[in-house]
Amino acid sequence: MRIRRWWAWPLVPFYAAGLMVRDWLRRVGWLRVCRLHWPVVSVGSLSAGGAGKTPVVIALAKLLHRHGWSVDVLSRGYGRTGTSVERVDLDVDGAARRFGDEPTVIAQRTGAEVWVAVERYEAGTTAEAAESASNQSQRVHLLDDGFQHWRLARAVDVVLVTEEDLDDALLPAGNLREPLVVLGRADVVVLREDECERVETRVRPLLHAGAKVWTLRRELRFPDSLVGLEARVRPLAFCAIARPNSFYAMLRAADFDLAATVDFPDHHAYTLADMERITTMAKECGATGFVVTEKDAVKLSAPAAGLDSGAGFNFASGSLIERLQAVGPVCVVVLEAKFVDEADVMRGLEARLR
């Protein structure tokens, strides 16, 4: 078992007891569950971060849209400065700060309506009211990070499981929100293609008889200007995501010779001081530029036009990114996720949604 915070190990039994009480309250019906008019597909995970929920939400939104479904996304908008129920507006200066970095990325990549609120039910009712005049008959909500959000009823519970989750400990000593046994609640488990065989062997006995396993293929997409040039650049990579080492490993697998790496806490709001620290380090290690994730890019500047065909961003004048560009170019890398068998995914979804 992987213990990340040894000092917190004595607190794990209290956390586990709290989970048991909450589960009992849910089973006896003492926790209120609200139901929206449109079906809800929840995308969640067992871990507190880094499982890759955002790319899966994006993949599902695009897939459903291609098959004629009207899709919106309901998100908490973790770390946002706004407090009311709001629709993500990409034209707002500092959209990532106001609505949250991940909702902003989802809105950019999918073109779907993304609604943020602490109570996702309120976000859903607002979304449905806004679309009440639409003649679209096939409508669905995607609930971002919803496996532990029991207050909103769902038609499908999709849960991401990574190999790292299998040997993690419960919070606060580890990163697991719930133990592996709760996978019995899942309708679908999503596994990464490179881990699928090893993880499915351990996960399958925990699933109920009708549960499905979907396989996800992930790859990094680079700006057109960098294709074929990876071996000739030596950038400094930095990010504010839950599992930075996974990002760096994928860059190295793509033949990037990283001059240095810098980690920030997940959802970190970048400052001028951070840019000064990064540029100083880049000069000291001889970096030829910088490479970041799209989740970082939306916080470094309000994109003027979102992602272009080469996975790059157009950054506004006067942004934090300009401090980096004074030292070298900034490469924004997009993590693309695609289901290996999309036809099987759609059959499973539509069987439940209709």
**Tens-digit pLDDT profile for residues 6-24:** 999 999 999 999 999 998 9
Q: Can you tell me the distance from the alpha carbon of 256 to that of 69, in angstroms, rounded to the nearest whole number?
A: 39
pTM recorded for the entire structure: 0.90
pLDDT band of residue 228 (cuts 50, 70, 90) is very low
Best CA proximity match to 298, nearest among 165, 69, 104: 104
The more confident residue out of 222 and 58 is 58
In this prediction, residue 232 carries a pLDDT of: 60
pLDDT, one tens digit per residue, over 204-213 is: 999 999 999 9
| Lowest-confidence region among 46-50, 148-152, 309-313 | 309-313
The more confident residue out of 307 and 22 is 22
128, 37 contact by CB (below 8 A): yes
In this prediction, residue 321 carries a pLDDT of: 85
| Domains of the chain: residue spans and CATH | 6-218+338-353 (3.40.50.300), 221-336 (3.40.50)
pLDDT band of residue 131 (cuts 50, 70, 90) is confident
Mean pLDDT throughout 176-203?
Answer: 96
62, 110 contact by CB (below 8 A): yes
Mean pLDDT, all residues of the chain: 89
pLDDT, one tens digit per residue, over 35-56 is: 999 999 999 999 988 889 999 9
Residue 13, preceding peptide bond in cis (omega within 30° of 0) = no
CA angle 45–307–262, rounded 5-degree value: 60
In this prediction, residue 224 carries a pLDDT of: 63
